[in-house]
Chains A and B, each alone.
Chain A
Amino acid sequence: MSAEIRSALGFRLAALAQRSSEWLSVVGGFGMLFVEIVSRTVRRDFDRQEFVRNLYRMGIKSVPIVTVTALFTGGIMVIQAAPIIQRYGAYGLLGWGAGFGTLREIAPLLTALMINGRVGANNTAELGTMAVTEQVDALRALAIDPVGFLVAPRFLAIVTTLFLSTIFSDALALLGAAYAGLGFLGVEPAVFYRGLTTGLLGFGDVAHGLQKSIVFGIVIGLSSCHFGLSTKGGAPGVGRSVNATVVASAAGIFVLDYLLSFALS
């Protein structure tokens, strides 16, 4: 092996080691932050007013985007299923098909991605700006715990927002599917409803999706708070943190969705 190849190999190995160390430091940071949040939550040592304020900003203000996403998602599922339904004349199964996909997979996943883009990115930008303008240090200097005042309320608000938004999204996506079924396939909402409720679908399917939404909420909450608080380097740093949050959360959501689909089945 020539000296050049050895040198190039060494350089690549060093770069790989550095990337691995950075990745481990992020994962470690997530873990430590999660422990701190859980300890504040168990001790009820977090700011309730901030929790309510964030729940309003994150939850109530996300209703329009969740509504639009859910209604159209339900409609799209019917449009995609329409050729098969028509070919086999399985109109009575439309409710089951739409419900199965929506409740277990599509509603939690798409709602999480929307909340990641709207709430997660915004949360990172806010915390990142606070970090680079010394507001987080100012809290510490004022003898106020930043995790109890800033992080735990936001984390809990994100998890709660995503859980409630998923329930809301489940209902709206099914409504969208029912009316798309009526419009495209002539399936009456009563037939759609019977397909949904006559035994093929159960509470387990709803719970499956809701359990996923809690895990996705934890991913978005941890990611957005961790990257926000560790922001350095002024406005460009805030941009980098927001980017990291959106990418890491989306990747985490898909990987965990895959694993949870196995685990919960």
Chain B
Amino acid sequence: MIRLEGVCKSFDRAVLSDVDLVVPESCLFGLIGPGASGKSLLLRMITGLMRPDRGKVIVGGNDVLAMGDMQLHEYRKGIGMLFQNNALFDFMTVAENIAFPLRRLFNLPETEIERRVAERLSRVDLPGFEARLPAGLSGGQKKRVGVARATVTRAPIVLYDEPAAGLDPVTSQKIFDLLRAEQRAESSTVVMVSSDLDRLLTVTDRVGMMLNGRLIFVGTTEEAKNAADPRVHQFVHGNVEGPL
């Protein structure tokens, strides 16, 4: 379970204000909201890449902010993350990118690593792409390699930041279906930030909406679709008229 309590963060202005969030275990949680509302920042706080000014980040019963370097290192082994712009290592091939966390963090035989890389590539529909460099891939292909790398360690917690940004509708739906299937297969806890609400809401169990650094709604996907709060209703249904 992921629990955030009273999380605040300011740079030159407040970007997160008193965020309280609970993501139950084995839940696919969608985090939605307009741009610059603090969604990606929350993901970075869950991974320990950024510290809040105030508040608590509790993951699996452990206080992330109280962890030392070694504990944080161990903690991050249990997290997979897809970054907004994929963050593939551009001096490594596709296979090396996907195998990287396995080679560095787990003492696995090379045959097992190769088998897992091939299985991941086949799962994201990119068999035969092992030797390609990220620079030679399209946006959708890079995204799929990013998904393969984020899921290759079978981490119990996976965070996806805009997994379908810049993809065509068909590829986008395929990615969401793949992520849902992965989450079910591994019973992982997933937090997914996406602006593609039409597709995101087809796969989420629960949804939270951020607005101006505050979490203004948390509920099931059905509750989000039928929310009484006019801001949530407008955002979920994509209406031009409304308070936003």
Residues of A within 8 A of B (CB): 126, 129-130, 133-135, 137-138, 140-145, 149
Contacts and interface: CB of A to CB of B under 8 A. Distances in A.
Contacts of A135: 87-90
Contacts of A129: 90
Contacts of A141: 47, 49, 76, 79, 81, 83
Contact of A137 (B73, B87, B105): B87
B85 interface: yes
Interface in B163-203: none
B74 interface: yes
16 contacts: A130-B89, A135-B88, A135-B89, A137-B87, A138-B83, A141-B49, A141-B76, A142-B100, A142-B101, A142-B104, A143-B72, A143-B74, A143-B75, A143-B76, A144-B100, A144-B105
A144 B75 CA distance: 12
Interface of B: 44, 47, 49, 72-77, 79, 81, 83-85, 87-91, 100-101, 104-105
B83 A137 contact: yes
Q: Which 5 A-B pairs have CB atoms at the shortest separation, nearest pair first?
A: A138-B87, A143-B76, A134-B87, A141-B81, A134-B83
Given A135-B89, A135-B90, A137-B49, A142 B83 contact: no
A138 B83 CA distance: 7
B158 to A, nearest CB: 11
B151 to A, nearest CB: 13
Nearest to B76: A143
A126 B79 CA distance: 26
Contact of A134 (B74, B75, B84, B100): B84
A137 B75 CA distance: 15
A138 B74 contact: no
Given A135-B89, A137-B49, A142 B84 contact: no
- The listed residue with most B CB atoms (<10 A of its CB), out of A135, A137, A142, is A142
Contacts, number: 53
A140 to B, nearest CB: 6
Given A134-B85, A140-B76, A143-B75, 13 more contacts: A130-B89, A135-B88, A135-B90, A137-B87, A138-B81, A140-B49, A141-B47, A141-B76, A142-B100, A142-B101, A143-B73, A143-B77, A143-B104
Contacts of A142: 76, 81, 100-101, 104-105
A125 to B, nearest CB: 12
A220 B89 CA distance: 24
B144 to A, nearest CB: 16
A25 to B, nearest CB: 17
Contacts of B88: 135
B157 to A, nearest CB: 11
Contacts of A149: 104
Contacts of B87: 133-135, 137-138
A129 B77 CA distance: 25
B55 to A, nearest CB: 20
Contacts of B104: 142-144, 149
A55 to B, nearest CB: 15
Contacts of B81: 138, 141-142
Contacts of B91: 126
A138 B146 CA distance: 11
- The listed residue with most A CB atoms (<10 A of its CB), out of B75, B76, B89, B100, is B89
A129 B72 CA distance: 25
A185 B49 CA distance: 65
Contacts of B101: 142-144
Contact of B105 (A133, A140, A143): A143
Nearest to B97: A138
A140 B83 CA distance: 12
A158 B100 CA distance: 24
- The listed residue with most A CB atoms (<10 A of its CB), out of B85, B87, B90, B101, is B87
Nearest to B69: A145
Nearest to B43: A141
A233 to B, nearest CB: 14
